[in-house]
């Protein structure tokens, strides 16, 4: 009995853990709720006292044993007492609203107090895979950055850039269509294949960003063979009759970026109890970015985003509507257009822009405009105490227009116009049986249509996707076992304009594949666990890999697709070791991702003779490759107020078919920092200061003949920040002052396509302000 | 409710949902493929030459780009340039975009945007090292050879409205020496807000080569 209680408890509490989660942060208060019940009978215990130790916060459970506490984020110690039962003392690490049940044992059974560590219980779709989380103050310190840049604090994640304005996330060396991005549960469907197509998400909507590092096709379908980035907004409020707001403002000295985001949310009361809503909007403007020695012409950004959600929640069912609109105009650095390889070689030889520009907010050709709107409706039904049915339908429209630099034409039209419509439906059923089994099964379907105008790059197409999956978990004693399988089918019909004869060529292809996962977690101690996971996933060739034919803001390249490409298949093995104690956290992930028929661009020895000169032809082809590497994350808290963090990521990628390295493999990256919490000084509260060093090695493992220039040298950057909180009336304002690239180092990054032309940005001083405020509070 | 009943119910929901979903999406707009329209393209670039000594003695050379329906170049052809020895020729640039209707005279538009454009003319191999300066029509970095030179010297003869005015190269003066053969490389640089008379700023819009015979 005793052991059963113990393991059940451990499993409930340590249901998920990630060392990358915040160790402590004190932001807006959050809700902790749950049920106090008799561990044997599962009957709720009324009027049990639940208190936060060391504070005056405490409540009594209601007649069913339920309780709700408003607590601060970070570490809290919960004490629960009930007459005739053994009191319980639990240490919780909280970074968001969560449910925490308190099973009490009758005192007749002698049992010592239980001390348990737990980090925010995150619902992990794949329990045995590594999940990294950015939230709290760590997330606050990325405000104003693009989604790609915000993710760089996750070990093993970096960005693939096109100058300072465009960045795409790279997970374990892979990017583009191989990384799935979820915006509030909806998989982002845009033109992800483009190297300079950044994800269309406003990071200000995020309250938490989760990153699955590993093949996650099992839950998210084809494509997610490298990982998943999931942007989660805050849960809608549930306190009836309340209305709250929050303002975020960011200013940066480099690029003179100004970003302003405002949010209004509330829960209706009385007859409309159960309804809650949120409105959120962001405006962002930035101008030309400066490197230490010169200004990069035409690198401004304009962004206007809006989102709204409305939900109705009943105890056992609920429905949520969500709409978001993302609108951006991105300047592309002048002087990066090359007519030919000769042009490019001359620019590489110079190594910096020939013309120096002044600062301006104006965005001129070449530029991109992208609009992405997402609408979704999601409903859930608790089919029993331990099972839940969810249904989601979403519709997305992505309109991308790319305006090239014009030499002599008076045209106002874009070079390329692409509009993609996607509707998707998902059905998911989740259950948690008493016997240690839990899992989910579901169906998903998607329909996509692409329409193009102006210049030709990729054809119009229609795509139908369908998938079905099942994932089951079984927990027994110190073990968690997991297994799942999924089947996906894709039907793709492309309507290409025949290049030689003026007619439409219709090509239909279909792809199908099985994704699978199998894994286990073993809890060696309460603090230490070991997980192993094997995931098989596949990715059908994307539209550009099949049919691209032309030059696409690329650099001296003419790309040719291959309509006969097969799906690529990933076999991803990963091993995770997690240790967490009060003062020491370790998260170590080792992985080996073998991809058969990996699709990539191979330089041919042929040249395409454009009017502007010769361009090297690149042909899409397939080979067997593997990626292996390790991510190590260490956090040490020698004293409560000091936090030392060290992150190391290294990766090795090899093309087994041609016996050479893979291009654009991220070089070894080290990030070491410390953060000190000073507490309160006068009117300044929660003062904390920190500094970090980022060291990126030179990539020496480069394939021959793929790149136009050698990989740039290693670089070392210093960043520093100071945060504090000023109480104002009934609320407070959080301030953050940060300096990136403190020493103003001129450097180039291997994963920036514009490294041929210019340096990376120089010193940037960033001012951030965040102010939550209450408009209505319920009368308790 | 028993488990099996639950499962059946879920399966029904699922099928219903999927069916509804597939019924809801059918679009024919993807099949109406829009034509491929490039904002700008060059299909023909010519040099028209007139002998200064005899206005009736004209010659020309033309480089033609054949483009497919995707706007990509499928093949090119060029005519040779044949010049008389020890002569001076007035040269005019004539460029067309024949994919547009009516045919778009690119060289006229370049004249309108002359402050952003600069032509370079490079005989290769060249007999003497050309003086690469801000006023040179020669392309920096071109190898110099003393053997079998093409005896052609070039000077641009027009100026833009920059302050101070810079050369353009829509017109030029070709001076030939003794009989020889070689190539004439002809480049148009597009240098928006960056033109300074040199080759480096901007990017190439045109980069072609004519087999040249001086006899």
Residue B45: list chain A partners with CB under 8 A: 611
- Asked if B154 has any chain A CB less than 8 Å from its own CB, the reply is no
In a domain, B94, yes or no: yes
Q: pLDDT band at residue A632, thresholds of 50, 70 and 90?
A: very high
To test the contact with chain B by mutation, choose from A351, A407, A448 the residue with the greatest count of B C-beta atoms within 10 A, namely: A407
Q: Which residue has the higher pLDDT, B55 or B8?
A: B55
Residues of A in contact with B30 (CB under 8 A): 449-451, 460-462, 495
Rounded Cα distance, A39 and A471, in Å? 28
Mutation site, A493, A550, A606, A611, interface B, largest B CB count within 10 A: A611
Q: Does any domain span residue B208?
A: yes
DSSP A64-91: TSEEEEEE-SEEEEEEEE-TTB--EEEE
Of B17, B22, B69, the CB nearest to A498: B69
Within the 413-472 window of chain A, which residues sit less than 8 Å (CB to CB) from chain B?
Answer: 413, 415, 421, 423, 425, 427, 429, 442-443, 445, 447, 449-456, 459-462, 464, 466
Calculate mean pLDDT across residues B132-149. 71
Minimal-distance CA residue of chain A relative to B114: A408
Q: What is the phi/psi pair of residue A150, to 5°?
A: -65, -30
Q: Is A219 helix (H, G, I), strand (E, B) or coil?
A: helix
d(CA A599, CA A662): 11
A442 CB neighbours in chain B (<8 A) are: 14
Note whether residue B185 is domain-resident: yes
Among A residues 328-347, those touching chain B with beta carbons less than 8 Å apart: 334-335, 337-340, 342-343, 346
Interface probe, candidates B17, B22, B30, B36, chain A, greatest A C-beta count within 10 A: B30
Decide if B132 is inside a domain: yes
| Whole-number pLDDT of residue A32 | 84
Residues in chain B: 215
pLDDT-derived band at A533 (thresholds 50, 70, 90) equals: very high
ipTM of the complex: 0.84
Question: How many domains are contained in chain B?
Answer: 1
- Greater confidence (B4 vs B185) lies with B185
Find out whether the peptide bond into B86 is cis, omega within 30 degrees of 0. Answer: no
Q: Please name the residues between 486 and 515 in chain A that touch chain B, using a CB distance below 8 Å.
A: 495-502, 504
- Stretch A404-419: mean pLDDT: 91
* Residue A26, pLDDT above cutoff 50: no
Best-predicted range by mean pLDDT (A19-33, A124-138, B8-22)? A124-138
CB-CB neighbors (< 8 A) of B4 in chain A = none
Residue A679 tokens read as 């507490």
Among A236-240, A539-543, B62-66, B107-111, the range scoring the smallest mean pLDDT is A236-240
For A289, the 3-state DSSP assignment is: coil
Between the CA of residue B182 and those of A323, B80, B124, B126, B149, what are the distances in Å?
A: 65, 10, 6, 9, 7
Contact flag B39-A334 (C-beta cutoff 8 Å): no
- Of chain A, the end-to-end C-alpha distance in Å amounts to 42
Residue B204 tokens, joined: 């190439």
Backbone phi and psi for residue B111, each to the nearest 5 degrees, phi listed first:
-60, -40
User: What is the rounded average pLDDT for all residues in chain B?
Assistant: 84
For residue B38, the chain A residues in CB contact (below 8 A) are 415, 454-455
pLDDT of residue A552: 72
| pLDDT tier, A12 (very low <50, low <70, confident <90, very high otherwise) | very low
Compare all CA atoms of chain B with the CA of A423 and give the residue at the minimum distance: B25
For the cut 60, the answer to whether the pLDDT of residue B27 exceeds it is no
User: B8: pLDDT confidence band, cut at 50, 70 and 90?
Assistant: low
Is B25 within a domain? no
Q: Chain A interface, mutation test: which of B67, B99, B189, B192, most A Cβ atoms within 10 Å? A: B192
Contact B201 A354 (CB under 8 A): yes
Asked if the model's pLDDT at residue A5 lies above 80, the reply is no
Q: Which two tokens stand for residue A729?
A: 């009336």
- Tell me what the pLDDT averaged over chain A comes to: 87
Least confident among A294-298, A728-732, B81-85: A728-732
Q: Which of A613, A780, A318 is nearest to B45 (CA)?
A: A613
Contact A609 B76 (CB under 8 A): yes
Domain that holds residue B122: 44-214
Question: Residue A7 pLDDT more than 60?
Answer: no
- Domains of chain A, CATH where assigned: 2-104 (2.60.40.1120), 131-230 (2.170.130.10), 231-776 (2.40.170.20)
Instruction: Count CB atoms within 10 A of the CB of residue B121.
Output: 22
Cβ contact B69–A610 (<8 Å): no
Interface subset of B 47-106, CB within 8 angstroms of A: 65, 68-74, 76, 106
Any idea what DSSP says for residue A2?
A: H
What confidence tens digit (pLDDT) does each residue in A180-219 have? 999 999 999 999 888 889 999 999 999 999 999 998 888 8
Interface test with A, best of B9, B16, B17, B21 (most A CBs within 10 A): B21
pLDDT tens-digit readout, A277-316: 999 999 999 999 999 999 999 999 999 999 999 999 888 8
User: In chain B, pLDDT over 90 holds for what percent of residues?
Assistant: 56
Tally Cβ neighbours within 10 Å of residue A41. Answer: 9
Question: In chain B, which residue's Cα lies nearest the Cα of A394?
Answer: B21
Q: Quote the minimal CA–CA distance from B44 to chain A in Å.
A: 9
Average pLDDT over residues A116-129: 59
- Of residues A672 and B193, more confidence is placed in A672
pLDDT of residue A37: 85
Residue B122 has pLDDT above 60, yes or no: yes
Cβ-based neighbours of A592, under 8 Å, separated by 6 or more: A572, A573, A574, A626, A627, A628
Q: Which two tokens stand for residue A410?
A: 């008076």
Q: Tell me, yes or no, whether B34 lies in a domain.
A: no
Q: Which residue of chain B is at minimal alpha-carbon distance from A334?
A: B202
Nearest-CA distance B87 → chain A (Å): 30
* Mean pLDDT within A228-241: 90
Domain contains B39: no
What's the average model confidence in pLDDT over A698-704?
A: 94
Rounded to an integer, the average pLDDT of A450-458 is: 89
pLDDT beyond 70 at A521: yes
What are the tens digits of pLDDT across the range A564-616? 999 999 999 999 999 988 889 999 999 999 999 999 998 888 899 899 988 88
* A608 has a chain B CB within 8 A of its CB: yes
Checking if the pLDDT of B1 tops 60, the result is no
Q: Are A58 and A81 in contact (CB under 8 A)?
A: no
Record: contact A406-B10, CB cut-off 8 A: no
Closest alpha carbon to A692 in A641, A738, A649, A725: A738
- The answer on pLDDT for A76 being more than 90 is no
What number is the average pLDDT over the span A89-108? 76
3-state secondary structure of B24: helix
Residue A592 C-alpha, separation from nearest chain B C-alpha, in angstroms:
36
Q: Do B31 and A410 make contact, defined as CB atoms within 8 angstroms?
A: no
CA-wise closest residue to B140 among B128, B131, B153: B131
Q: Kindly state the helix (H) or strand (E) to which residue B190 belongs, with its residue range.
A: strand B180-190
What was the pLDDT predicted at A90? 77
pLDDT of residue A160: 94
B-interface mutation test, from A334, A352, A382, A408, most B Cβ less than 10 A away: A408
pLDDT, tens only, A243-274: 999 999 999 999 999 999 999 999 998 888 89
Min distance B165 CA to chain A CA atoms (Å): 18
Q: Does A611 touch chain B (CB under 8 A)?
A: yes
Sort out which chain A residues have CB atoms less than 8 A from B65's CB and list them: 611
Q: How confident is the model at residue A647 (pLDDT cuts 50, 70, 90)?
A: very high
Output the pLDDT for position A474. Answer: 92
Whether the pLDDT of residue B126 is over 80: the answer is: no
CB contact under 8 A, A408 and B6: no
Residue of B nearest to A445 (CA): B18
B190 part of a folded domain: yes
Confidence band, pLDDT 50/70/90 cuts, at residue B146: low
- For residue A379, pLDDT over 90 is answered with yes
Q: Which of A340, A383, A611 sits opposite B42 (nearest CB)?
A: A611
Interface contact flag, A609 B73, Cβ < 8 Å: yes
Confidence of residue A165 (pLDDT cuts 50, 70, 90): confident
Residue pairs between chains A and B whose CB atoms are closer than 8 Å: 176
Chain A: residue whose CA lies nearest to B140: A346
Give B204→chain A minimum CA distance, Å. Answer: 5
């Amino acid at each position: 009995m005793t052991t059963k209680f113990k393991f059940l408890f451990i499993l409930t509490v340590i249901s998920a853990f990630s060392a990358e989660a915040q160790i402590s942060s004190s932001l807006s208060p959050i809700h902790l709720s749950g049920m106090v019940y008799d561990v044997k009978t599962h009957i709720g215990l009324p009027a049990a006292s639940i208190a936060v130790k060391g504070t005056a916060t405490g409540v009594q459970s209601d007649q069913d044993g339920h309780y709700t506490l408003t607590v601060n984020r970070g570490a809290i110690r919960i004490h629960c007492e009930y007459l005739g039962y053994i009191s319980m003392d639990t240490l919780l690490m909280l970074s968001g609203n969560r449910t925490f049940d308190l099973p009490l044992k009758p005192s007749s059974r002698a049992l010592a107090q239980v001390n348990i560590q737990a980090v925010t219980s995150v619902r992990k779709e794949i329990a045995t895979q590594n999940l990294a989380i950015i939230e709290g103050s760590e997330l606050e310190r990325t405000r104003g950055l693009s989604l790609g840049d915000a993710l760089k604090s996750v070990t093993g994640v970096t960005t693939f850039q096109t100058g300072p304005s465009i960045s795409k996330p790279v997970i374990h060396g892979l990017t583009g269509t191989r990384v799935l991005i979820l915006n509030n549960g909806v998989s982002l469907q845009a033109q992800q294949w483009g190297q300079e197509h950044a994800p269309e998400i406003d990071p200000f909507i995020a309250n938490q960003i989760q990153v699955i590092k590993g093949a996650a096709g099992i839950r998210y379908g084809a494509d997610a063979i490298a990982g998943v980035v999931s942007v989660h907004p805050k849960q809608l409020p549930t306190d009836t009759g309340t209305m709250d707001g929050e303002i975020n403002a960011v200013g940066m000295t480099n690029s003179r970026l100004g970003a302003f985001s405002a949010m209004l949310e509330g829960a209706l009361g009385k007859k409309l109890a159960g309804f809650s809503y949120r409105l959120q909007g962001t405006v962002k403007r930035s101008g030309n970015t400066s490197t230490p020695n010169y200004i990069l012409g035409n690198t401004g950004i304009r962004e206007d985003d809006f989102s709204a959600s409305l939900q109705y929640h009943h105890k056992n069912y609920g429905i949520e509507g969500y709409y978001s609109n993302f609108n951006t105009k991105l300047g592309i650095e002048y002087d990066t257009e090359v007519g030919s390889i000769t042009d490019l070689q001359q620019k590489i030889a110079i190594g910096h822009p020939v013309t120096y520009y002044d600062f301006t907010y104006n965005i001129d050709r070449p530029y991109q405009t992208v609009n992405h709107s997402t609408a979704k409706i999601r409903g859930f039904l608790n089919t029993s105490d331990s099972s839940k049915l969810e249904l989601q339908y979403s519709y997305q429209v992505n309109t991308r227009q790319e305006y090239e630099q014009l030499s002599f034409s008076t045209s106002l039209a874009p070079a390329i116009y692409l509009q993609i419509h996607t509707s998707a439906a998902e059905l998911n059923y989740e259950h948690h049986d008493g016997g240690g089994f839990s899992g989910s099964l579901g169906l998903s379907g998607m329909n996509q249509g692409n329409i193009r105008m102006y210049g030709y790059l990729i054809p119009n197409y229609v795509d139908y996707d369908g998938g079905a999956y099942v994932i089951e978990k079984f927990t027994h004693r110190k073990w968690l076992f997991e297994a799942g399988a999924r089947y996906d089918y894709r039907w793709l019909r492309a309507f290409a304009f025949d290049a030689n004869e003026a007619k439409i060529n219709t090509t239909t292809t279909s792809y199908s594949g099985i994704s699978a996962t199998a894994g286990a977690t073993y809890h060696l101690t309460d603090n230490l666990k070991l997980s192993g996971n094997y995931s098989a996933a596949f990715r059908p060739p994307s539209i550009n890999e099949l049919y691209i034919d032309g030059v696409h803001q690329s650099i001296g390249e003419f790309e040719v697709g291959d309509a006969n490409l097969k799906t690529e298949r990933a076999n991803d093995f990963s091993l995770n070791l997690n240790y967490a104690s009060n003062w020491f956290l370790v998260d170590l992930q080792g992985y080996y991702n073998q991809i058969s028929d990996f699709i990539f661009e191979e330089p041919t020895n042929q040249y395409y003779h454009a009017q502007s000169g010769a361009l090297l032809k690149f042909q899409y082809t397939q080979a067997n490759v593997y990626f292996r590497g390790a991510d190590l994350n260490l956090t040490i808290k020698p004293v409560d107020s000091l936090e030392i963090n060290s992150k190391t990521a290294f990766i090795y990628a090899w093309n087994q078919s041609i016996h050479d390295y893979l291009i654009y493999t991220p070089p070894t990256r080290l990030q070491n920092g410390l953060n000190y919490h000073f507490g309160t000084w006068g009117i300044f509260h929660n003062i904390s200061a920190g500094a970090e060093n980022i060291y990126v090695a030179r990539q020496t493992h480069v394939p021959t003949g793929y790149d136009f220039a050698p990989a740039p040298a290693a670089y070392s950057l210093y960043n520093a920040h100071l945060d504090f909180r000023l109480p104002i009336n009934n609320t407070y304002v959080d301030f953050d002052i940060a300096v990136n690239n403190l020493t103003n180092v001129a450097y180039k990054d291997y994963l920036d396509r514009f490294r041929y032309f210019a340096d990376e940005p120089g010193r940037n001083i960033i001012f951030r302000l965040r102010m939550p405020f209450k408009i209505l509070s319920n009368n308790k | 409710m028993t488990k099996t009943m639950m499962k059946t119910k879920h399966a029904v929901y699922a099928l219903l949902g999927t069916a509804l979903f597939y019924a809801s999406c059918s679009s024919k707009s993807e099949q109406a493929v829009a034509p491929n329209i490039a904002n700008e393209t060059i299909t023909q670039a010519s040099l028209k030459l007139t002998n200064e000594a005899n206005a009736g003695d004209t010659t020309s050379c033309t480089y033609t780009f054949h483009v497919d329906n995707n706007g990509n170049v499928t093949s090119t052809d060029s005519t040779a340039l044949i010049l008389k020895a020890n002569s001076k020729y007035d040269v005019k640039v004539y460029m067309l975009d024949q994919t547009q209707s009516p045919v778009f005279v690119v060289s006229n538009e370049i004249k309108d945007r002359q402050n952003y454009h600069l032509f370079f003319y490079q005989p290769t191999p060249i007999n003497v090292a050309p003086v690469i300066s801000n006023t040179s029509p020669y392309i920096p970095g071109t190898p110099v050879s003393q053997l079998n030179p093409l005896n052609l010297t070039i000077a641009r003869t027009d100026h833009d409205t920059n302050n101070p005015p810079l050369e353009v190269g829509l017109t030029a003066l070709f001076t030939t020496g003794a009989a020889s053969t070689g190539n004439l490389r002809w480049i148009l640089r597009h240098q928006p807000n960056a033109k300074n008379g040199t080759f480096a700023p901007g990017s190439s819009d045109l980069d072609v080569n004519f087999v040249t015979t001086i006899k």
